[in-house]
Structures are given as structure tokens and as C-alpha cells.
Amino acid sequence: MEWNIGKIVEKWADLKPDKAAVIIEDKPITYRELNEGANRVAHYLQEKELKKGDRISVFLLNCPEFLEIYFAAAKLGLVFVPLNFRLVGPELKYQLNNCGSRLLVFHDSLLENVETVRSSVEVPEGNFLFVKSGVPGCSPCPGWASDYEAVIKSCSTEQPVLDEPVEFGDPLAIIYTSGVTGAPKGAILSHEQTYFKNFQNIIYSDIKSDDIYLSYLPMFHSGGLFITCTPTFCRGATVVTRQTFKADRFAMDIEEYKATIVFALTTMWRFVLQSGNLGRADTGSVRVALGGGERTPQTLLDELSENGINVQTGYGQTENSFMTLLPAEYISSKEGSIGKPGFFTEMWIADKEGKRLPAGEIGEIMARGPVVMSGYWNMPEKTAEAIVNGVLHTGDYGYMDADGFFYIVDRIKDMYRSGGENVYPAEIEKILADHPRIFNVAIIGVPDDKWGETGMAFIVLEEGEKLTLEEIHDFLKGKVAKFKFPTHVKFVDSLPMTGSGKVMKVKLKEEYGARLDR
């Protein structure tokens, strides 16, 4: 079937041309403006002789240009590759060359990183586009790049005429995984999968056409592009965001824009609370609050609730984002749950042989449905490991209760064995995250002569606080078995994080000799 994600802005530009599609840094962009911007970009890309199936990349903060390029690529059948704006040279080089990108659009504030890899990537000369971010002190457009605004403004706003039709099953985007357990893999998402994801989000988040959806998630991230932006645009509602995460602005934006849906990851919610503004802002407009996940401490959820934000926790991966959500009416009665599968997702728990397990037993979370990725770009072996007979092996351990609610235990690769017993670090991390002196924590299994492996905790303390290993053990007593106690602790100023707010345990493991080949 000939259809594509670009139809979203085309349709709303016709139905509600003057409605704000997105408000970025307090600047509203209407559906007409967004569609015309996408059309201009599409004509430019055609002038560059880019063809259906070619990959184009963006290395951008949240901005209108990001969305213009996204929808332009969708209209032409190009494959959109958003890159984490925190990538440094070698990481940027790997992803650009891995996908064979034919064009790169980047912000002036990221110029230095692009310059370090420009001569070693496959992007053709003349296919670098420079975007002004408005960030003070940035360099001007270099001679080897073209100024985005200058080359796009003269292009036509009419719908592009296609050389080849875009099919529903064609690839729309490649989203690179966080790389928490090794080299990032490019998950291929089709137009069809994305439409089903839109419907799943609209149904589960109850998105309405008059909603104001506030989220600071980066658009390069699956959560920012495929949970927040695309479903909201599909519904004809309005997204409010900023270039980057600003904890002190979040609560104030809820009040200013009367946000009805808000979404933040656990780490973001923690910083929002720390800013102190949530208690001072009027958040009465919020109808749906999303976020959390398996490492969200209950004390954080309780504190948010005390400030009028009742967060519905959920679960998803780049390979299949927004698989589950905890319905609002079960927030109190199903504490710790990630909820039930979405409308277009089937989930179950399986043992190592793939046999379905009954309620209460721990095993791997399996999923299938029309929202699962097509596979990993140029990685047939990794694809075959992840998707077997149409079933996604998530790599997460969990269990289901008697009522069909799911709970995360840990990543399979993060589990370690101490004295022959399985230890799931996330279980202990969640408890320690409730300690009043701990801001953040990560635990890995490290080699031990006596037990084979034992736990090592990396702890970021609250400002001005101190803590000892003995005090950590005292806090854990009666909460988990003693063999699960970490026997080593290292206090650090920060933990290595991915752009999506996950701890990069692979870096900790590499440094401290932990096993990587689980």
C-alpha cells in the first residue's frame, strides 16, 4: 500500500493549518508551517539526487529543522537516522558509516565533533548541512558545509513529486540502541510499524486533539520521536519541548502552557523535583503523567504524587517502544508494576527453552505484534538472535502476576551469580535508590575468589552527604537476602549515562573486569 508517515503533517496542514503542531523554546510552529518546511527540505533532497532508501542523518538538538527533515525523509522514502547529540568522534563515525549515511545535518554547537570525523565518514562532499542553534559563542558555517537556512528557503513549498512511490512497509528510520551492553545496533522501523505505534500510544496515553503534550525528551531518542512527537502529531495535538532538558523550566512550562500530558524519564523527574519548582507551579491541567520504569524508586513516585503528578510507569525498548503502561487506576494497587501490554503488543514470560511460564515465575520477557522493529541494520546475526519466528526476545528478565500485570527484574546481561545464586542488580538498586542520602546508584557483578562473583555498587550521594558500606548493609537488612548485598562500594560524582537516561554499565564492567559475554 502506498502510504507514509509524511501524510501526517500533510493532512493536518489541510485540516487545521493554523494550529500549533509544536512549540520549541516558546516559538510555535503551525501544521502548515511544519508541512511547508518539510516540503522545502524534500525538494532540496531531490536536488541532491538522493533516492528512496538512501540514509540521511541529523546530529541536532531539539529544533524545528529536526522535524522538517524527518517528515521530508518520510515523504520521499529516505531512511531517517537521528544521532545522539552527545556522541563524540569515534561514536559518531561508527554510526554514520554503519548506516552508510549520504547526508548529515548538524547544529553549530556540535561542529567540533563533526570536524573530527568529516574526512573519515562516507557522507559525500557537499552533503553537510549547518544549522544555527542560537547557542551563544558558536562558530559560523564552515566552508565545507552549506547553511541550512540559506539553501532551504528558496525551495518550493509544494508537495514533492515522487520518482518512486513510498510503500507502507518501507523503512522509515534507523534508531541506534543505547549501547549499554556493547556496540550500538541500528533498529529499523518502518512506516507501518510507526503508524501502529501511533495508534498504541494514542489509545494507551488517551491523547486527544486538544491536548498539550509536554516533554523534553531528545527527539533523537525513541521516546522523544516515537512516543511523544509522532503520535501527538498523528492526533493533531500540540507538543511543547525545548532544545535540551531544563529541570527548572519543566514545572513552569506545565503552568504556562497548561500541559495536559507530561512525560519524563526517571532521572528527569528526579531533577525536576530537585529544582523545587514543581511544588510552586500550578499543575492542575495535567491529565496524564508518564515515565518511570523498572528502576524508579517508589519514594520518587510518592513525592511526585504529593506534588500532584501521578506517574503511570511503563516499559519499552528501541526495538519495540511503549510495550506496556500501568493504567492510572492501578498506580496504588500494583506498586512496582510496568503495567499491561498495549493494544498492538502481545507479551509473555518464557524460560530458556522458549516455553511460556506461569504467573510468578521469572523468565525472559517476550513480545510480538505490528510495533516490533523489522530488524537491525546490516546485522543479520543479531537480528536472528533478537527476533525468532516473529517473536522479540527483549533480553529483560521479569514476571507476570496472577492479574496479568508485568514486573521487570533486570537485564539478562546484568544478572550475576554469587555462590551459585542469581543476583539481579536492579532489585538492590531500586531499594538503595530509596536511601535518603543516595542520589543515584548502579551495581555490577565483579570477580571474587570466594563466591565467583560479588556485587560492586557505584553510588552518587546527595550533595554534602557521606555513607559507609556498613550503613548500606544496615539499610538492606531485612529487605533482601544477605548474599545479594554488594561487598564493594565506590562513591562517584556521576555515572556514565546514555542519551536516554540509562546507566552505561558496560563501561563500568569494562573498567572493573566484570563479564560482558552473558
Q: What's the CATH code of the domain at 157?
A: 3.40.50.980
Give yes or no for residue 514 having a pLDDT over 80. no
- Compute the average pLDDT of residues 337-359: 95
Q: What's the Cα-to-Cα distance from 198 to each of 163, 240, 370, 512, rounded to whole Å?
A: 27, 18, 11, 42
Shared domain check, 208 and 121:
no
Give yes or no for residue 176 having a pLDDT over 70. yes
Question: Of 366-380, 452-466, 493-507, which gets the smallest average pLDDT?
Answer: 493-507
Nearest by Cα to 242 from 267, 266, 268, 260: 268
CB contact at 8 A, 294 and 315? yes
pLDDT tens-digit profile of 297-326? 788 899 999 999 999 999 888 899 889 999
pLDDT tens-digit profile of 451-465? 888 999 999 999 999
Shared domain check, 457 and 426:
yes
For all residues of the chain together, what is the average pLDDT? Answer: 92
Which of 350, 378, 411 is at the close of a domain?
411
Alpha helices in 172-297 (DSSP H): 191-205, 222, 230-234, 247-257, 266-275
CATH classification at residue 500: 3.30.300.30
Give yes or no for residue 502 having a pLDDT over 80. no
Q: What is the pLDDT of residue 17?
A: 98
Shared domain check, 144 and 265:
no
Torsion angle of the four alpha carbons 79, 84, 87, 92, in this order, in degrees rounded to the nearest 10: 0
Q: What is the pLDDT of residue 89?
A: 87
Q: What is the pLDDT of residue 290?
A: 95
User: How far is residue 325's CA from residue 334's CA, in Å, rounded to a whole number?
Assistant: 12
Give yes or no for residue 370 having a pLDDT over 70. yes
Q: What's at 497, amino acid-wise?
A: M
pLDDT tens-digit profile of 185-213? 999 999 999 999 999 999 999 999 999 99
* Percentage of residues in the chain having pLDDT higher than 90: 76
Q: What is the pLDDT of residue 129?
A: 98
Shared domain check, 387 and 488:
no
Enumerate helices (H) and strands (E) in the chain, giving the number of each. Answer: 16, 27
Q: What is the pLDDT of residue 228?
A: 96
pLDDT tens-digit profile of 12-45? 999 999 999 999 999 999 999 999 999 999 999 9
Residue 336 lies in a domain: yes
Give yes or no for residue 274 having a pLDDT over 60. yes
Sequence-distant (≥ 6) Cβ neighbours of residue 276 within 8 angstroms: none
CATH classification at residue 219: 3.40.50.12780
CB contact at 8 A, 367 and 346? yes
Shared domain check, 380 and 323:
yes
Which of 411, 431, 458 is at the close of a domain?
411
At 296, the pLDDT band (50, 70, 90 cuts) reads confident
Residue 275 lies in a domain: yes
Give yes or no for residue 371 having a pLDDT over 90. yes
pLDDT tens-digit profile of 392-403? 999 888 999 999
Element (H or E) spanning 509, and its range?
A: helix 505-512
pTM of the model: 0.86
Residue 100 lies in a domain: yes
The position carrying cell 492542575 is 284
User: How far is residue 234's CA from residue 216's CA, in Å, rounded to a whole number?
Assistant: 19
Residue 407 lies in a domain: yes
* Beta pairing class for 261-264 and 212-215: parallel
Residue 382 lies in a domain: yes
**What cell numbers appear for 383 in the block?**
537480528
Shared domain check, 128 and 262:
no
Q: What is the pLDDT of residue 26?
A: 97
Shared domain check, 153 and 76:
yes
**What cell numbers appear for 169 in the block?**
512497509
Q: What is the pLDDT of residue 244?
A: 92
**What cell numbers appear for 258 in the block?**
497548561
Residue 209 lies in a domain: yes
Residue ranges making up the domain that contains 98? 32-167
**What cell numbers appear for 34 in the block?**
511544519
Q: What is the pLDDT of residue 241?
A: 98
- Compute the average pLDDT of residues 116-123: 95
Instruction: Give the count of domains, the chain.
Output: 3
**What cell numbers appear for 445 in the block?**
557483578
At 180, the pLDDT band (50, 70, 90 cuts) reads very low
Shared domain check, 347 and 282:
yes
Which of 369, 391, 411 is at the close of a domain?
411
- Compute the average pLDDT of residues 424-445: 90
User: How far is residue 158's CA from residue 358's CA, in Å, rounded to a whole number?
Assistant: 56
Shared domain check, 371 and 293:
yes
Residue 396 lies in a domain: yes
Residues in the chain: 518
Shared domain check, 225 and 153:
no
CB contact at 8 A, 85 and 60? yes
Shared domain check, 399 and 469:
no
Shared domain check, 391 and 302:
yes
Residue 153 lies in a domain: yes
